[in-house]
């Protein structure tokens, strides 16, 4: 039996005493991070916000099996933040729609959550009206059966079956009334409850996971009193995807007692905030680099590759990789690289081998 088959299933129960410490830990981490960010200069704050919001969008889509172009995401977020970032000039209308959803949720986090707003978010995720090869009904509640399945055709395994479509409208009315109500529930717990409640209803043909995480981000923005995001719950969920699904499954097969889900959410959120320090350090290094090299003439290929090297560049940088990523010839790639070596931005690795490897200099002034 699924939780939604129980009468008044949404009257969740949980052990408040067990949650006092985890919520307090999250609140402490939030406060320390926001204070640290606000102690930095405007350029660093913008760079941190750009990095985290881009990462959040990339990972939320990745959880659902959709791999977005990193440059397109960063470029869209930068435009929305009003930032002119070197090497970021890629435009993708579909990604722009996803970015608008994220900004509406966080920058307008205190606006009421309505059916129209949620349907607008979901429609923005599927502007073509298709999810992969399948036609869906974007911008409206689903009209058919909804099952979460895995496995090959003919051997599918059903992990979860959502409430019948005939119930969705009434179920969502109850959810939205709760979401917009004044209560003493901490916003961190409200984010966790909203995420679980919405994903259990599964009101749309597709995109339910991303919308659920967007709703959670909205409540977390309220809890931070800060619309800009400096940590990514979606990135942490992507790292702990199996545990995420297991925590959801346990609560969805339960009797309405959701303490285990709330504990997992709080602990995952605490790890997300703690782990944001690593990305923040890289972000600040990148921001300082571009600030200190603003007068150095670089071409667009060089700007693009420097940004990639500051991020999670996979493997060693070689001439052939440079040529492939920038879609140019090996000769042009080598000239680009040699120019950066002469400008003391790249250095040649000492390691032997047939192909020379290059890295950013560790002693670049910052």
What is the domain count for the chain? 2
DSSP one-letter string for 196-262: HHHHHH--SSS-HHHHHHHHHHHHHHHHHT-SS--S-HHHHHHHTHHHHHHHHHHHHTSSSB-HHHH
Nearest residue to 128 via CA among 101, 91, 94, 95: 94
At residue 365, the pLDDT reads 46
Q: Which domain holds residue 138?
A: 3-287
Q: DSSP 3-state assignment of 123? A: helix
Could you tell me if residue 292 is inside a domain?
no
Are 252 and 3 contacting, i.e. CB atoms less than 8 angstroms apart?
Answer: yes
pLDDT digits (tens, 9 = 90+) for 50-69: 888 998 999 999 998 888 98
The CA dihedral of 295, 296, 298, 303, to the nearest 10 degrees, is -70
The CA distance from 228 to 51, in Å, is 11
Question: Could you tell me if 151 and 266 lie in one domain?
Answer: yes
The first and second tokens of residue 77, run together, are: 């977020």
Question: Could you tell me if 309 and 267 lie in one domain?
Answer: no
Could you tell me if residue 45 is inside a domain?
yes
The first and second tokens of residue 155, run together, are: 């051997």
Are 319 and 334 contacting, i.e. CB atoms less than 8 angstroms apart?
Answer: yes
Of 5-19, 277-291, 330-344, which range is least confident?
A: 277-291
Question: Could you tell me if 112 and 256 lie in one domain?
Answer: yes
Could you tell me if residue 86 is inside a domain?
yes
pLDDT digits (tens, 9 = 90+) for 17-54: 999 999 999 999 999 998 888 777 777 788 888 888 99
Are 151 and 157 contacting, i.e. CB atoms less than 8 angstroms apart?
Answer: yes
Question: Could you tell me if 71 and 187 lie in one domain?
Answer: yes
Could you tell me if residue 283 is inside a domain?
yes
pLDDT digits (tens, 9 = 90+) for 71-91: 889 889 988 888 876 555 666
Kindly tell me if the per-residue pLDDT of 194 is higher than 90. yes
pLDDT digits (tens, 9 = 90+) for 300-328: 999 989 988 887 677 789 999 999 999 99
Could you tell me if residue 366 is inside a domain?
no
Mean pLDDT over 242-271 rounds to 97
At residue 366, the pLDDT reads 44
The first and second tokens of residue 234, run together, are: 């979606």
- Return the number of other C-beta atoms located less than 10 Å from residue 150's C-beta: 10
Mean pLDDT over 333-349 rounds to 93
Q: Select from 233, 257, 287 the last residue of a domain.
A: 287
pLDDT digits (tens, 9 = 90+) for 217-255: 999 999 999 888 899 999 999 999 999 999 999 999 999
Question: Could you tell me if 236 and 348 lie in one domain?
Answer: no
Question: Could you tell me if 133 and 111 lie in one domain?
Answer: yes
């Amino acid at each position: 039996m699924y939780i939604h088959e129980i009468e008044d299933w949404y009257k969740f129960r949980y052990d408040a005493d067990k949650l006092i410490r985890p919520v307090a830990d999250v609140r402490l981490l939030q406060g320390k991070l926001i204070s640290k960010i606000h102690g930095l200069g405007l350029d660093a704050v913008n760079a941190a916000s750009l990095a985290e919001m881009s990462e959040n969008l990339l990972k939320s889509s990745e959880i659902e099996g959709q791999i977005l172009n990193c440059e397109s995401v960063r470029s869209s977020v930068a435009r929305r933040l009003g930032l002119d970032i070197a090497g970021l000039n890629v435009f993708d209308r579909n990604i722009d729609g996803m970015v608008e959803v994220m900004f509406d949720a966080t920058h307008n986090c205190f606006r009421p959550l309505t059916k129209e707003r949620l349907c607008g978010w979901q429609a923005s995720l599927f502007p073509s009206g298709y999810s992969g090869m399948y036609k869906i009904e974007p911008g409206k509640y689903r009209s058919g059966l909804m099952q979460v399945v895995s496995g090959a055709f003919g051997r599918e395994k059903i992990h979860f079956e959502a409430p019948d479509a005939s119930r969705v409208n009434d179920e969502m009315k109850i959810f939205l009334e709760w979401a917009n109500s004044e209560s003493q529930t901490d916003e961190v717990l409200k984010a966790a409850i909203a995420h679980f409640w919405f994903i259990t209803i599964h009101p749309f043909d597709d995109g339910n996971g991303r919308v659920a995480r967007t709703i959670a981000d909205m409540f977390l923005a309220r809890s931070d009193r800060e619309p800009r995001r400096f940590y990514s719950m979606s990135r942490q969920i992507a790292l702990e995807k199996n545990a995420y699904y297991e925590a959801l499954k346990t609560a969805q097969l339960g009797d309405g007692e959701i303490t285990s889900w709330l504990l997992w959410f709080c602990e995952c959120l605490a790890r997300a905030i703690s782990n944001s320090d690593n990305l923040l350090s890289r972000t600040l290094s990148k921001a300082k680099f571009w600030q200190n090299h603003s007068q150095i003439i670089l071409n667009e290929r060089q700007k693009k590759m420097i940004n990639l090297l500051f991020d999670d560049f996979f493997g060693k940088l070689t001439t052939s990789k440079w040529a492939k990523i920038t879609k140019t010839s090996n000769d042009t790639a080598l000239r680009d690289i040699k120019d950066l070596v002469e400008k003391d931005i790249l250095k040649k690795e000492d390691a032997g081998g047939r192909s020379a490897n290059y890295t950013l200099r560790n002693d670049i002034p910052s």
